[in-house]
């Protein structure tokens, strides 16, 4: 027991226990961290994708509708994380059991690590292009990007918050400035609302595309941030600010720029304006904030799976990512396909977590340090397998969304039918 307490004291990021109330953070601090996570260039490009098939009114409706759905999922996960103080990986113990949790929680970091490497490689590639580095220089830039971005994750949640304080004002300013400049190019707001896309896509498809931009992180990674919230009001407010404020801003600014310049790549647009330094600032702040939080969440999940100290795990991840960037993943199609497959596989896990807390356990978990867990619970694994098969069979909707809904329904029904008990009380069992 003494050894366990010493281990928890050394774990300053609380990767294996609940965050104590004394270490909880304010709304402003959590908003900076979460919004920095949400601010990413891919959301801007998603706005450009919407502009290819929707008029501006349709873009606004799709953006709002998609982010409202994302907010519902994110708020529910945030409430669980705040009330328990636990990482997403530790939350899986209540439904999967101790051994089952290690296997279940490893899927999320695999996806996150893949995207971390892709974005680090993309940034290194961009820097090499701007400064006209050769093939060798590009490789050095990509590997160095993977390592430098991980430094903030190494120093934990406080370092990520500091990065956000620096980066977010720059991202907001440059994004809005880009939109304003784009409005000037196209001839003003009236021209924007008169825009007719070259093709037509259904509004529902636009909404599902917006959901797809962040469904994975809002359903999993947000728990690793909002477990630091002082209360549920703080968690909910910070969550909504990031999505209804930050993500909407990114998508809309990206759409305006794409309409004006007929290009969804914001960095290309900035370079087209001749703004090399602003494009570097936008790309740097944009990717660094997201990737730091991304790797931080990855390290927490893997620490649970392998019982390894978080910083040691990060060191291994950084070395692997630096090496993986040399494969130039920004241009390897099969890797994106692989990650998209994982993005379909993971969401049912979130549906299981939501159902376990709100429906099976009626909104209250046994305190983590007082709970005893079974090693395995077969119900979530059966649920997960059925959901994976179903999302590939169902011919409509967004697979990630279908997976969450099916996961919640099937898990709840099966737990009621089997009457499985995963969690007990140590004091009662003694």
**Per-residue confidence band for 9, with pLDDT thresholds at 50, 70 and 90:** very low
Most confident of 117-121, 296-300, 365-369: 365-369
Torsion angles phi and psi, residue 393, rounded to 5? -90, -40
367 domain residue, yes or no: no
215 domain residue, yes or no: yes
Q: Is the pLDDT of residue 333 over 70?
A: no
Number of domains observed in the structure of the chain: 1
Q: What is the pLDDT of residue 274?
A: 74
274 domain residue, yes or no: yes
Give the whole-angstrom CA distance, residue 52 versus residue 61: 15
293 domain residue, yes or no: yes
**CATH of residue 103:** 1.10.4160.10
Q: What is the pLDDT of residue 105?
A: 77
373 domain residue, yes or no: no
> How much of the chain, in percent, has pLDDT values that exceed 90?
40
Q: What is the pLDDT of residue 2?
A: 41
Q: What is the pLDDT of residue 334?
A: 53
Contacts of 211 (CB under 8 A, 6+ apart): 66, 69, 70, 398, 400, 401
**Per-residue confidence band for 71, with pLDDT thresholds at 50, 70 and 90:** very high
* Arithmetic mean of pLDDT, 213-221: 83
415 domain residue, yes or no: no
Q: Is the pLDDT of residue 127 over 70?
A: yes
Q: What is the pLDDT of residue 91?
A: 94
Q: Is the pLDDT of residue 249 over 90?
A: yes
SS3 227: coil
Q: Which residue has the higher pLDDT, 210 or 228?
A: 228
**Per-residue confidence band for 1, with pLDDT thresholds at 50, 70 and 90:** very low
Dihedral angle, C-alpha 175, 180, 186, 192, nearest 10 °: 80
Contacts of 22 (CB under 8 A, 6+ apart): none
Range scoring the smallest mean pLDDT among 87-91, 241-245, 296-300: 296-300
Q: What is the pLDDT of residue 138?
A: 92
Range scoring the smallest mean pLDDT among 5-9, 10-14, 18-22, 85-89: 5-9
- Of residues 353, 309, 323, the one with CA closest to residue 8: 309
* Arithmetic mean of pLDDT, 398-404: 85
pLDDT digits (tens, 9 = 90+) for 251-295: 999 899 889 887 766 566 667 777 778 778 888 888 888 888 888
Instruction: Give the structural domain span for 129.
Output: 21-329
381 domain residue, yes or no: no
Q: Is the pLDDT of residue 166 over 70?
A: yes
Number of helices (H), then strands (E), in the chain: 23, 2
Range scoring the smallest mean pLDDT among 227-231, 306-310, 364-368: 306-310
Q: What is the pLDDT of residue 114?
A: 83
Q: What is the DSSP string of 118-181?
A: HHHHHHHHHHHHHTT--HHHHHHHHHHHHHHHHHHHHT-HHHHHHHHHHHHHHHHHHHHHHHHH
Q: What is the pLDDT of residue 339?
A: 54
Q: What is the DSSP code (8-state) at residue 229?
A: B
């Amino acid at each position: 027991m003494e050894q366990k307490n010493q281990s928890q004291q050394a774990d300053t990021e609380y990767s294996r226990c609940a965050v104590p109330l004394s270490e909880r953070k304010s709304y402003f601090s959590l908003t900076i961290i979460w919004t920095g996570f949400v601010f990413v260039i891919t959301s801007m490009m998603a706005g450009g994708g919407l502009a290819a098939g929707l008029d501006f009114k349709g873009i606004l409706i799709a953006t709002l509708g998609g982010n409202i759905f994302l907010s519902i999922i994110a708020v529910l996960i945030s409430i669980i994380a705040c009330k328990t103080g636990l990482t997403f990986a530790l939350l899986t113990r209540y439904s999967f059991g101790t051994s089952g949790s290690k296997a279940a929680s490893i899927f999320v970091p695999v996806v996150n690590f893949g995207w971390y490497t892709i974005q680090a490689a993309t940034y290194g590639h961009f820097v090499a292009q701007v400064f006209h580095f050769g093939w060798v220089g590009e490789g050095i830039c990509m590997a160095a990007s993977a390592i430098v971005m991980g430094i903030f994750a190494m120093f934990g949640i406080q370092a990520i918050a500091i990065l956000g304080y620096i980066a977010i004002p720059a991202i907001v300013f440059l994004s809005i400035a880009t939109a304003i400049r784009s409005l000037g190019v196209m001839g003003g707001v009236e021209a924007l609302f008169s825009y007719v896309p070259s093709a037509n896509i259904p509004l529902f498809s636009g909404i599902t595309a917006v959901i797809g931009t962040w469904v994975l992180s809002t359903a999993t990674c947000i728990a690793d941030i909002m477990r630091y919230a002082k209360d549920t009001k703080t968690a909910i407010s910070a969550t909504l600010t990031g999505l209804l404020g930050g993500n909407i801003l990114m998508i809309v600014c990206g759409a305006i720029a794409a309409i004006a310049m007929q290009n969804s790549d914001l960095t290309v647009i900035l370079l087209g304006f001749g703004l090399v330094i602003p494009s570097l600032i936008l790309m740097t702040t944009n990717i660094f904030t997201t990737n730091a939080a991304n790797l931080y969440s990855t390290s927490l999940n893997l620490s649970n799976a392998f019982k390894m100290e978080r910083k040691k795990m990060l060191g291994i991840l950084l070395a692997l990512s630096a090496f993986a960037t040399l494969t130039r993943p920004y241009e390897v199609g099969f890797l994106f396909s692989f990650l998209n497959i994982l993005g379909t596989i993971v969401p049912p896990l979130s549906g299981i977590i939501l159902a376990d807390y709100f429906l099976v356990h009626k909104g209250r978990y046994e305190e983590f340090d007082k709970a005893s867990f079974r090693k395995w619970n077969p119900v979530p694994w059966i649920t997960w397998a059925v959901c994976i098969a179903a999302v590939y069979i169902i011919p409509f909707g967004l697979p990630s969304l279908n997976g969450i809904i099916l996961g919640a329904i099937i898990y709840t029904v099966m737990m009621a039918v089997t009457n499985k008990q995963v969690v007990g009380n140590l004091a009662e069992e003694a």
